[in-house]
Structure 1
Amino acid sequence: MIDRLNSLLNIFDVGDIRFFFLVAKKNLRNLITLSLVLSLLIFIISLNQQKKYLSKATIVIEPDDNKIVNIEEVYSVETQSNRINNQMAILKSDEVQEYIVKDKKNSMKFKSLYSETKQNFFQRIFTKPKNMDQGFLKSILTNNFDVKNIPRSDVLELSFVSNNPKISQLALVSIIESYQRYEIDSKIKITNYANQKITERLKELVAQMDIAQKKLSSYKKEQNLVDTGNVKELKIKEIQSISERILEAKKNYQEQQNDLLSIKVADGDIDALLAIKDLRSRDEISNIKASLTANESNIQSLSLIYTDKHPKITQAKDLNDNLITQLKDILDENIQQKAFELSNLDNFIKLSNEELQKSTDELRVIEEKEAGMLKFSREVESSRKLYESFLQRVKETNEAQNLQVSKLKIIENPNLPSSPFSPKPKKNFITAFLISFLSIYGLLYYREMNSSVIKSPEAIDSLNIPQIGILPRVEKLKRGFHILQMFVEDGASSFSEAIRSSRAIIESKYEKNKSYMVTSSNPSEGKTTYAFNLALSLEKSNKVLFIEADIRRPSVLNGFYQFDKEILGLGEIISGSAQLNDAIFKVPGTELDIITSGEKRFDMSDIVTKDQIKKFLDVLKMEYDYVIVDSPPVQPVSDTLILTQASDYNLFVIRSEETRTVSFMSSIKKIQNVGAKINGIVINDLDTSKDSYYSYYYSYSPNYYYHKS
C-alpha cells in the first residue's frame, strides 16, 4: 500500500509518503486542535440553523391519446423529452400556483401552519415578521418546489422544502391537486373553444348549402331539366340500336354486292346462278329446281322403255323446256330484285348514319347539361356531408366535456417528513473536521515544502539517508584565505574540524578505491567547497583524485587556481582531444591530483553514456584510493543524473536556510527515478549560534562521528 502511494506521489513529484506522515506527526496537535475548533463552530452554527423538512411525491403524467401520423414519433426520444419538459414547466408555472394562492381554504391552512412554526433564537432576533399575503405564499411555492424526471421514464419526482413538515406535505398535495384542476380546466376551455368554432362553421355550411341548392334549382330551370339521368340512358340505348342496324345493313349490303358480282360472272349460266346461296335458297327457285330434277329423272326412266319420239318422252321434254324457261324468268326477276334491294340498303345506311349523328349530338347536349347540373349537385352534397360531419363533432365534444379526467397518476403520495433533512449537525461536524484537517494540513505541507530543509528536517528523516557532515557557517575569512582551501589554510578552524569529522565518517563507513560524487539541488549551495576540502583532507593519508565534472560552470578552474600552461580537462577527455595523463595536474602545495573541467563546454548527456563514465571511473579507482567527483547541481542540468548512476557513492549537500524542501525532494526523486540513490547528506553553512533542530548535533565530538551505523 505504501509503495503504491509512493508511486502516485512520484508522478506529481510532491514528496515521499513518509514525509507526509512526518509532517502530520510534527503538527498533529495543532491540526487536531484547529480542526476541532472549526468543526465545533460549524456544529454550533448547524444547531442554530433553521430546520428544513423535505416532502416527496412520485407521479406520472400519461401522454394524450393522439393519433400517430409518423412512425418516428413512436420511437422519438426528443418528442418524449419535450413532452416531459413541458409538463415539468407547467407544474412550476404561475397558472398552477394561482389555483393554490386564490383558494382561500388552502391559504388559511398555510397561514395557520406558518404561525405554528417555531423560530430559533437567531431568527427571532434577525428575522422581520412577514405578512402572509398571496405574494409571499407564491414566492414560497416558487422557491421551495422542485421537480425532476427519473431518467428513461415518464415518472416525475416532486419535492418541497419547508421549515415545517406539514407545510411541505400540504404544498405538494396542493400542487398536485392544482395541476389536475388546471389540466381539466384547460381541456374544458379547449373543448368550449372547439364547440364555438364548430358551431360557427355549421352556420357557414348551412348558408353554403342554401346557396348551392339555389344554384342547382336555377340551373335546372334555365336548362329546362328535371332529372337527366333516364333521358341520357334512353338516348344511349337508341344510339346503340342505330349502330347495330347500320352494322347489319352494311353486312347485307356487302353480301348483295358479292351476289351481284357472282351473277355478272355467271353470264346467264343457270348452274352458275344456282350456285349463289341467296338465289338457291329462294322457295320458288328451289321448287322449280326440284320439279326440273324430277322431270329429268322421269325422262331417263321413259328413255329406257320408249323411243325419243314417243309421245310421253316428247311431252316430258316439252315440260322440261318449260321448266327451264320458267327458271330463267324467275332467276331474272330475283336478280332484278337483288339489284333493287342493294339500292335500298345503300339508302338505308345513309339515313341510319344521319340518324346516328343526330342522336350523338343530342346525347352530347344532354351530357353537357348533366355536367353542369352535377357540378351544382356535388356542391350541395359536399356541403351536406360537411354539415353532418361537423354536427357529429359537436355531439362528441359535448360528451367529452362531461367526461374530462386528468392524465396525472399518483404513484407515491406526498409524505410527512419525520425528521429534517437539513441541517445535519453530526454530518456537518464530521465533514467540517475532515475538510479543516485536510485544508490546514495542506497549508502546513505547503509551508514545509517551501521552507528550508533545516527548518523542516522531516524531509531528510523520511528518506532515511545518513548525515555524514555538518559544516558551520564561516562568517568571515581571514585575509588571503579562500573557502575552497580552508582546510589547508586554516586547519584549526571549526570548519576544518567539521571536514575532518566528515572524513572520519567516510573512511569508517565507506570503502576505498571507490568514486564519490558530490552534488546539490541548485548552484551556490556549497557542493564544490565541501568536495574540494574533503579531497584536501583525504589527501593527507590517501591518494586522491578530484574531478571537476561541472563542465558548464567550473568553480575550481575559473574561481581559484591558475595554471601556467594550457589546461586540458574532462571536456577534452570526453571529446577525445586529450589523453587521461595529459589532463591530470597537481594542486600546488599538495599531493592532490585534479582533473579540471577543461576548456570545452557541452552537454555531457549528449556525448557520453553512464556506462562510458563508469568505465572511466573504474580505471581511475585502480590508481586512486578516493575519486571525488564535483558534479553539476541536479535541478538546472541533466549531467548529474548520468554521474549518479556511474559513481559508487553519491553525497548530497544542503545549504542551511537556502535549500528549500521542495527543491531537495524533487532532486532526490530525480536521482531515484534513474535507479541511483543518495548515500549521505552534508549540511552546509549552518548557523550554530541559533537554537535549531541541528544545534545539538554540532560540537567537537569525534567519538560521535566515528560511530559506525
Structure 2
Amino acid sequence: MIRDRNDLLIGAQKVAPSGNDEIDLGALLRTLWRGKLWIILCSLIALAAGGYYALFLATPLYTTTASVALESRQEQVVDIESVMSGLSGDQVTINTEVEVLRSRRLIGKVVDDLNLVADPDFNATLRDPPWLSLDAIGNVIGRAATSDPIQSDQAIRDAVINAVLEQITVSNVRQSYVFNISVVTGDPVKSAQIANKLAELYVEDQIVLKFEKTAEATEWLTERVADLQIELETSESQLKDFSSNTDLISPEGLIALNRQLKDLRDRQVDVAAAAATHRARVAELNAARAANDPAQMATIAADARLDQLMTDDDPEAFQQRFEEVLARAIIESNRSEAQQEAIALSILELTDSIQTQSDELVALQQLQRETEASRLIYEFFLSRLKETSVQQGLQQAESRILSSAVMPHQPSAPRKTLILVFSLVLGVIGGAGLVLLREVSQNTFRTPEDLEERTGYAVCGQIPLVPARDRKKVLQYLQDKPNSAVAEAVRNLRTSLLLANLDKPPKVIMSTSSVPGEGKTTQSTALALNLAGLGKKVLLIEGDIRRRVMNTYFDVPEQRGFLSVMLGETTLDEAVTHIPDMHFDVLFGEKSQTNAADIFSSDRFGAFVDELRDRYDYIIIDTPPVLAVADARIIGRWVDTIIYTVRWDHTSRRQVMDGLRSFEQVNVKVSGLVLGQISDRGMKRYGYGESYGAYQTYYDA
C-alpha cells in the first residue's frame, strides 16, 4: 500500500514569530550600524554643503546694540505739575515703550534721517535682479523682460521701513528699565548708525512730544482763559445791574421784618379777641333794651349812675343813661373792628414785602455765587496757563541713552562652527532616516533572522551567489573549489538536513521556491553533487517538466526521461543518466501533453518514489515554483523533506508568505528555508558585510 510520506517530514518545526510590538532598540542600533556608510556619506555631504554655505554663500551679518534706560525719577526744577504725566514703570508701560521703539513712525524718521531710501541694501528697487530671476531668464531665451509697475515714493518708503523693521530687535532686560536695541545688517557701520539713530530719535521724540503737548495745552488754555474772562465780566455786570435796580435791604433787615410780622400776628390775635368781646357786650345791651327790664339793663350795663337812676325812680333819666352806655359800647366795638382790619392789612402788606425781598435776595445770592465761581475758574485756568507757559522751556525726556552702539569688528552671522555642527547633525539624522526608511520600505529578505521572524520557519541554509554565468560551469566550479564559500554553504545545508532527525534521516528531498529564477535548481544540483561526494548513491529528478532546464547544467545527449518511466514507455534504468565525473544519476524531464499534476497525484508516482527509496540513498526532486503551478504541493505528499528556496533581496515577502501558506492549506509541511543567491557585494552595500563576510578568510576565492 502506498503511504502519504509527508508524515515523515523532518525538521518541519516553525520558529515562533516575535509577538512583541515594542521597538527593539538593539535591532534598531544594528540597522543603523549596518547603514553606517550611508550615514557617513550623508554626514559628509551635509557637512560639505554647510561648509560651502558658511564660507562662500552666506552673507556676513553684523549685530550691534544700543541701550536706552527709562528715567523713573524726574528732576523737579519748579513745583509745577507737568502737562504729560511720567512713565509708571510697570510691565504694561515697558511693553508699550518696546512697541514705540518698533513703531513705523519712529522707524520712518530713522529712514528719513539716514536716507535709507537711497540705500540698495534696504531699497529693493535699486538692486540688480538676481541671475535666476524671471527677467534674467527671459533675456537669455530672448523674451522681453516683464517690467514691474512703477511704485510711488510712499510705497517705496513703506517697503524700506518694512526692511529696516525686519533687522531691528528691541528687548527689555529682565527686572530693569533698560531696553536693548539690536540691529543686524551686512554693514557694521550701518548697524551702528541705525541703532544709535533710533536711540537718539526715541529720546528726542519724547521731548518733542512733550513740547507738542505743552504747546497744544497752552493754545487751548489761552482760548479758554479768554472765554472765561468774558464770562466773568458778564457775571459781574449782571450782579451790578441787579444790585442797582432793586430796593433790597440786607439779610439782617429781612430778619427784622419777619420778626415784625410775627409781632403783628400776635397782636392780631389779641385785637380779634377784644373785638369779639365788644360785639358780645353790644349784643347783650341790645337784648336788655329790647326786654325793657330796668333791672336787667342795669345789671348788663354795669354802670353805677344807671344803678342810682333806677333807685331814684326816674325812668326818663334811666333810659337816657342806658342809651349813652350802649352808644359807648357800639363805639368801642367799631373801634376794635377797625383796628382788626388795619392789623390784617398791615400783615398782608408786610408778607408781600418780605416775599418780594426774599426772592430778590435769592437771585442776588445766585448771581454772587455764579460770579465767584467764574472768578475762581478764571483764576485757576489763568494760573495753569502761566505754569504751562513756563514748562515750555523745562521739558525733559523720560529716558536716556545708557550706551551707544559701537561698530562690530567680527560678524555675528553666519556662525560657522554652529552651521557645521548643525549640518553634521542634520546629515547624521538624514542618513539615519534614509537607512531606516530603506529598512522599513524593504520588501525582500536580506538576513536569515528577518526571514525566520517574518515567516516563522527555520532557515537551514544560506547559499552565496555562484561566480559562474554558465550553468554548466556551476558544478565544475564546486568541484574545482571544494573549499569555496559556495561549497561550504552547500555542506552546511547538507549537515542541517541530515542532522535534523538522526533517528530517521531523510531520503527524499524536494526543492521548491515561490517564483522562477530563485536558484532552486542550482541548489538541487549542488546538493546532489555534495551528497554524492560522501560516497552515497544519489538520484536528481527534474520535477519541473514544464520548463526543463536541467539539461543546461550537464553536457549529455537528450534521451527519454521521467515521463517515459511514469507512462511505462521505458524502464528506470534506461531513463536514468549517470554523470560519471560527478558520481550521481539524473532523471531528466520530458516534453509531454500530459497534465503534470495528474501524474504527480497518481498512485503510480507514489509507487515510483517507494521504488527509488530502495535503489538510492538520497533522491532529490527539483519541482516547479509553488505559486506558478500546483505540482510542488502534490509532490510534497511523497517526500521526507521540503526545502523552500528564497532568493536574497529579490523575492518579495508577500510571494514567500503566499507560497508557504499554499503548503499549509493542503497540510504539507515545509522543513526549512534556504536563503539563496546571496551577493557578497550586496551584503556589504547594505551593511551586512561584518556578519556575512567575517568568515571569508576561511574560504577559497
Q: Per the shorter chain, which TM-score range?
A: 0.3 to 0.5
The higher relative CO (CA closer than 8 Å, separation ≥ 6) is in 2
TM-score (norm 2): 0.47
